[in-house]
Structure 1
Amino acid sequence: MNRTDWISLEKKVTEWIRDAGNKLRRSLSGSLDVHTKSAHNDLVTNMDKEIEQFLVRRIHKYYPGHQIISEEGFGDKPTDTEGILWLVDPIDGTINFVKQKCFFAISIGIYENGKGKAAYIYDVMNDGLFHCISGSGAYLNNKRLSPLKPVKVEDALIDLSSTWIKPNKRIDQDVLTDILLKCSGTRAYGAASIELAYVAAGLINAYFTMRLSPWDYGAGLILIHEVGGQTTRADGLPIDILSKSSILAAAPGLHQDMVRHIRSQVASGKFLREP
């Protein structure tokens, strides 16, 4: 697709995502049909399914040759990254949606032959749309985001769940201890797409997790790259956008420091396991 095509696509996606956001806001005044999936804290609602179907139908209508990976399974099952691939999360932060009625987002990342081309993360309750077309700058609504500047560990605000600093099966609980003792502070918002968007906006300086699905991180990676940030797996290796993965996303300098620290901890005998 050429630039004109991407601009036309952005107009469509912006309209769809705002319509979907209106549906979600209206749904909060009624009752939700809530079920668990893989665990008691892995929720799905009738609105996750409704919004995903709404978006998938429109993508298939206007872009029938494109493929879709989506959380609730209404998309496709691509086996490679050839052509144009949409990574769609209808409600990222479903627990927040159900219990807090805030800090949840609609996330759409679009890749062409494996390269990030466009990203849309809509913070529904704040009416904040983080978006970009690769090479044209990243924005929060109409305000352009500034390029990220290098950050030292001592000055960093780092986002991570407490899951990864207590006993778990994916990372030794002590791997990040020294980093967290040195940094300015930690945060956790419970919606990966918003957290990645916050890295792109410079509101936090790094985001770390040991397990995300493509629809969770697809759009956020594109936004961060657009403002000069860096994203890899926790061990510094490239991310496979078709697979679940650990994610380390950070400002320049900080990313390298965190990767070096994690690798040194693994070399000393601490464990790190990909999904």
Structure 2
Amino acid sequence: MSIDWLELEKTARAWTYEAAGLIKDSLSNPIHIEAKSNPDDLVTEVDRAIESFFYHKIQETFPEHHFLGEEGVAEELDSLNGTVWIIDPIDGTMNFVHQKYNFSISVAVYHDGKGMIGLVYDVMNDELFHAIRGRGAYLNSDELVPVKERPLHESIIGLNAKWLVQEKNPYRNPLRALVRDVRSIRSYGSAALEIAYVAADRLDGYISVNLSPWDYAAGIVLLEEVGCKASTFRGEHLDYLKKSTVIVGKPRLHKEMVSSYVGEEL
């Protein structure tokens, strides 16, 4: 049975807007916060509620589809066979807790391992970055054009500066070399948004030492539609079933970052 990707994207988009409304409603109430793997790895009851919202919508509407999410409402997957929804209900939970701003909903649909639909929604700014494989990428109703290349010394990179000072971070020195040579770095606190910003030409590249698939799955679909590249620090394909280093950027910049800066010391 063939899948109508246009209709599926419309459904995913409608659910994303509905979920955003639930998140906004929650901001008027006290938020219960917990730490997961460390004191900076936060989760709230809103994260869990939004993931459950998507999970039950998918189960009711597409019972043959599979689900991969951050907060564990579904069983872990061991493959991407079939149609898989990969969802981060609130990407940038720390921003959600502290700022009530700069967080996103990330929704991806993959089919037999290929990214078919990618949605990254900036809830508070009402900006929806969205793409269907082979049909281009958009910011709301405006099509994103193929990105403009810039040399390294004119590039702005998304990067968490904390990694530059962590003594036990094995990537610290190559990242310092990269930061030395780029025009500037930025940190917005939402990986999905920062990857979407590369697709929208707001950033030239983005680097993360440790991301989960739901952080980058939707953004990769956007990137591919505008000609950008994504890989591990070693230049390998990203694995959508486990955590990974991630480096994304415009093609020439991505190649330069992988080969000349990050890859050389790994």
Mark yes or no: TM-score above 0.5.
Answer: yes
Output the CA distance in 2 between the equivalents of 1:172 and 1:62: 43
Task: Give the match for residue 104 of structure 1.
Answer: 103
**Cα offset for 1:163?**
2.8
Distance 1:164 1:102, change over 3 A: same
Shift of 1:190: 0.6
> Between Structure 1 and Structure 2, how many residues are aligned?
266
Deviations along 1:169-223, one digit per CA (max 9) or x if unpaired, are 4433211223212211000011100001001101000000110001111101111
Partner of residue 256, structure 1: 255
How far the C-alpha of 1:166 sits from its partner, in A, is: 1.7
Matched, 1:69 2:53: no
Range that drifts further, 72-81 or 214-223: 72-81
CA positional deviation for 1:264 = 5.8
Number of the residue aligned with 1:269: none
Establish whether residue 156 from structure 1 lines up as the match of residue 177 from structure 2. no
Deviation at 1:75, TM superposition (A): 2.4
Amino acid at match of 2:103: F
- Please report how far the alpha carbon of residue 41 of structure 1 lies from its aligned counterpart in structure 2 after TM superposition: 0.9
Aligned residue type for 1:164: W
- What is the rounded CA distance, in whole Å, between the counterparts of 1:87 and 1:170 in structure 2? 28
Letter in 2 for 1:13: A
Matched ranges for 1:104-143 at <5 A: 104-143=103-142
CA 1:47–1:237 in structure 2 vs 1: closer, same or farther (change >3 Å)? Answer: same
Kindly indicate whether residue 49 of structure 2 is the aligned counterpart of residue 50 of structure 1: yes
**Paired residue secondary structure (2:110):** strand
Structure 1 unaligned regions, length at least 5: 267-271
Amino acid in the other structure paired with 2:120 = I
- Whether the 8 Å CA contact 1:84–1:110 is kept in 2: the answer is yes
Q: What residue is the counterpart of 1:30 in the other structure?
A: 29
Letter in 2 for 1:46: E
Amino acid at match of 1:161: N
Which range moved further: 69-78 or 169-178? 169-178
Q: d(CA) in 1 for partners of 2:40 and 2:249? A: 27
Is the CA contact (8 Å cut-off) linking 1:108 and 1:119 kept in structure 2? yes
1:85 maps to which residue? Answer: 84
Which amino acid in 2 is paired with 1:92?
Answer: D
Q: 1:148 offset after TM fit, Å?
A: 1.3
The structure-2 alpha-carbon separation of the partners of 1:264 and 1:50, relative to structure 1 and needing over 3 Å to count, comes to closer
Matched residue SS, 2:174: coil
Shift of 1:152: 1.2
C-alpha distance in structure 2 between counterparts of 1:194 and 1:104, whole Å: 8
TM-score, with structure 1 as normaliser = 0.93
How far apart are 1:158 and its partner, in Å? 0.5
Partner of 1:225: 224
Residue 64 of structure 2 aligns with an amino acid whose one-letter code is G
| Code of the aligned partner of 1:21 | A
Structure 2 counterpart of 1:235: 234
| Counterpart AA for 2:200 | A
RMSD: 1.4
8 Å CA contact 1:157, 1:185 repeated in 2: yes
Q: State the Cα deviation string for residues 36-63 of structure 1 (Å, max 9, x = none).
A: 1111111111100110110110011111
Structure 1 counterpart SS, 2:193? helix
Which residue is 2:20 aligned to? 21
SS in 1 for 2:117: strand
More divergent stretch after superposition (150-159 vs 129-138)? 150-159
- The Cα shift of 1:116 comes to 0.8
Q: Secondary structure at the match of 2:173?
A: coil
Match of 2:175 in 1: 176
Distance 1:69 1:168 in 2: 33
Contact map agreement 1:148 1:252 (CA 8 A) in 2: no
